[in-house]
C-alpha cells in the first residue's frame, strides 16, 4: 500500500468513526425513539449511510431496536432505534458515611447495585478500598449474562489529580495522597482501568444528563453536593468545568465567614461548617444519627433552634453562592444530597440573600432547584462518564 493509499484509508476510517459517533449520540440524545429515516434527517446523512451505520451500532450493542408502533398507518412501520442494553459501566463511590457500587446501562437503567452504610471518617484507605472491592465483586458476580462492562469509575469526596488517578486530599475521610487503583483489586472492576473523579463533579453529571448522552433540563448550573461536608461543581453547556488541574468546584470550602468555626480542611468559616449535614444537624441540637427530614419537621413546626440552624445555613449559602454566580454568570443552582431534602426550607432566605448579593439578580434572578433524592449520585455519574465515552467513540466497541 502506498503512502497515499494509507492516508486515504486513515481518512476513511476516521470519517467512519466520526459518523458512527454522530449516529450513536443522536439516538441517545433523543427523548423519543428514532427511526433510521429520523437519524438520516437529523444528521444530514443519506438514508443508505445512516441505515448502514445504525445497523453496525445495533450489531455491536451500542444501539438497540424496539417493536414499532404502527399507529394505524398503512405500510410497514419503521423499527425505532434506542440506546443499547448490552453495554454497561460500573460506578463506585466512597463517602464519609457509605460505600456504593452501581452498574448502569446505556439506557440509564440501574442493572445492579449495593449500598453499604459505614462511618468512614478517618478510615484506613487500604482497608476501606478492600471493603469496597469486596462489595463490587459481589455486585459484578450477579450481572445478567451477555452484559458487557465497558468501564469503571470511582467517585471520591476530595481533590483528585485526574491524570494520575491520585486522591490528593479528602478532608472528611482524612485521606491524603492515595492512589485507589493501586489499592483496589483489579478483579473487583473486572480488570478494567479505574478512572477516579471528584464525587460532586460526577454527581453533577446526573443532573446534566438524565441518561448517558441525553441532556438534562439545565445546560448551565451550579451544583452543590450535600453530604457530611459539601462538594460542588459548575456545569456549562452540559459539561463540568474542571479547571486547570481538574480541581474546580470546591464550593464547600469557600469562606462564608473568616471568623467562623474551624473546618476539617484547616481553614475557618467554610461553607460546609454551616451547611454541611453534620454541622446543620448539630446547630439544630440534633445528633449525626438524625436525618434532614427530622430537621425539616422541627423547623416547619416552629422549633427555634432548628429554624436558626436553617437560617444560618441559608445565609452562608447565600454568601458563597453569590460569589460563584457573580464570577461565573450561572444563575441556576441545583441542591443535592441533604440540601435537596431541606431545599424548601432554605429557598426563601437563600433567594433573598442572592437577590441582594448577585449583581445581575435584577434582570435574571437566581433560581434554586432540588436534585432527585437518590443515594450515591456520584456512583451513577461515574458510570455515566464511562458510557458517554463509549458514545464519543463507539467504533472501539464494535466487532
Instruction: Give pLDDT tens digits for 40-81.
Output: 999 999 999 999 999 999 999 999 999 887 655 565 678 999
- Looking at residue 6, what is its pLDDT? 52
Residue 32: HSE in the Cβ half-sphere, 13 Å Cα cutoff:
6
| pLDDT tens figures, 316-342 | 999 999 999 999 999 999 999 999 999
182: its cell numbers: 493501586
Q: For residues 143 and 140, give the distance between their C-alpha atoms in angstroms, rounded to a whole number.
A: 5
| pLDDT tens figures, 234-271 | 999 999 998 888 888 899 999 999 999 999 899 999 99
- Looking at residue 1, what is its pLDDT? 57
> What is the pLDDT of the chain when averaged over all its residues?
93
Beta strands in 346-387 (DSSP E): 367-370
Mean pLDDT of 275-303: 92
Mean pLDDT of 16-32: 96
DSSP state of 110: E
Answer yes or no: is pLDDT of 2 > 80: no
Instruction: Say if CB 271 and CB 261 are below 8 A apart.
Output: no
- Looking at residue 106, what is its pLDDT? 97
Query: Is residue 10 very low, low, confident or very high in pLDDT (cuts 50, 70, 90)?
Result: low
- Looking at residue 289, what is its pLDDT? 87
Name which residue leads in pLDDT, 11 or 323.
323
Q: For residues 315 and 312, give the distance between their C-alpha atoms in angstroms, rounded to a whole number.
A: 5
- Looking at residue 8, what is its pLDDT? 55
Write the DSSP assignment of 139-208 as a string of letters: HHHTPPTT-EEEEEEEEESSEEETTTTEEEEETTTTEEEE-HHHHS-GGGGTTPPEEEEEHHHHHHHHHH
Answer yes or no: is pLDDT of 231 > 80: yes
Mapped onto helix, strand or coil, the DSSP state of residue 19 is helix
Name which residue leads in pLDDT, 33 or 289.
33
Answer yes or no: is pLDDT of 7 > 60: no
Angle at 203 between CA 372 and CA 123, to 5 degrees: 115
Amino acid at each position: 500500500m502506498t503512502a497515499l493509499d494509507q492516508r486515504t484509508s486513515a481518512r476513511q476510517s476516521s470519517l467512519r468513526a466520526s459518523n458512527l459517533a454522530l449516529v450513536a449520540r443522536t439516538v441517545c440524545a433523543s427523548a423519543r425513539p428514532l427511526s433510521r429515516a429520523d437519524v438520516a434527517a437529523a444528521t444530514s446523512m443519506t438514508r443508505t449511510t445512516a441505515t448502514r451505520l445504525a445497523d453496525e451500532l445495533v450489531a455491536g450493542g451500542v444501539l438497540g431496536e424496539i417493536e414499532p408502533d404502527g399507529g394505524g398507518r398503512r405500510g410497514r412501520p419503521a423499527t425505532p432505534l434506542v440506546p443499547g442494553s448490552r453495554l454497561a459501566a460500573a460506578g463506585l463511590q466512597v463517602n464519609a458515611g457509605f460505600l456504593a457500587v452501581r452498574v448502569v446501562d446505556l439506557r440509564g437503567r440501574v442493572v445492579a447495585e449495593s449500598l453499604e452504610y459505614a462511618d468512614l471518617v478517618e478510615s484506613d484507605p487500604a482497608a476501606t478500598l478492600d471493603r469496597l472491592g469486596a462489595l463490587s465483586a459481589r455486585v459484578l458476580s450477579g450481572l445478567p449474562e451477555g452484559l458487557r462492562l465497558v468501564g469503571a469509575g470511582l467517585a471520591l469526596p476530595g481533590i483528585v489529580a485526574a491524570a494520575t488517578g491520585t486522591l490528593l486530599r479528602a478532608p472528611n475521610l482524612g485521606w491524603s495522597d492515595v492512589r485507589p487503583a493501586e489499592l483496589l483489586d483489579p478483579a473487583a472492576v473486572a480488570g478494567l482501568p479505574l478512572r477516579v473523579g471528584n464525587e460532586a463533579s460526577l454527581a453533577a453529571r446526573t443532573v446534566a444528563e438524565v441518561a448517558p448522552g441525553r441532556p438534562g433540563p439545565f445546560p448551565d448550573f451550579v451544583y452543590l453536593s450535600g453530604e457530611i461536608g459539601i462538594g460542588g461543581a459548575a456545569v456549562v453547556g452540559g459539561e463540568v468545568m474542571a479547571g486547570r488541574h481538574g480541581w474546580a468546584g470546591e464550593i464547600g470550602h469557600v469562606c462564608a465567614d473568616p471568623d467562623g468555626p474551624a473546618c476539617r480542611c484547616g481553614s475557618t468559616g467554610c461553607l460546609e461548617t454551616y451547611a454541611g449535614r453534620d454541622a446543620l444537624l448539630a446547630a439544630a441540637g440534633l445528633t449525626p444519627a438524625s436525618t434532614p427530614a427530622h430537621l425539616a419537621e422541627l423547623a416547619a413546626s416552629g422549633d427555634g433552634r432548628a429554624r436558626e440552624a436553617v437560617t444560618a445555613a441559608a445565609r452562608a449559602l447565600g454568601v458563597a453562592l453569590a460569589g460563584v454566580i457573580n464570577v461565573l454568570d450561572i444563575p441556576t443552582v441545583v441542591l443535592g444530597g441533604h440540601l435537596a431534602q431541606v431545599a424548601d426550607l432554605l429557598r426563601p432566605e437563600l433567594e433573598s440573600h442572592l437577590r441582594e448579593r448577585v449583581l445581575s439578580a435584577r434582570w435574571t434572578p437566581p433560581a434554586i432547584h432540588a436534585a432527585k433524592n437518590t443515594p450515591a449520585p456520584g456512583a451513577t455519574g461515574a458510570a455515566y462518564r464511562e458510557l458517554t465515552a463509549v458514545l464519543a467513540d463507539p467504533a472501539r466497541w464494535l466487532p
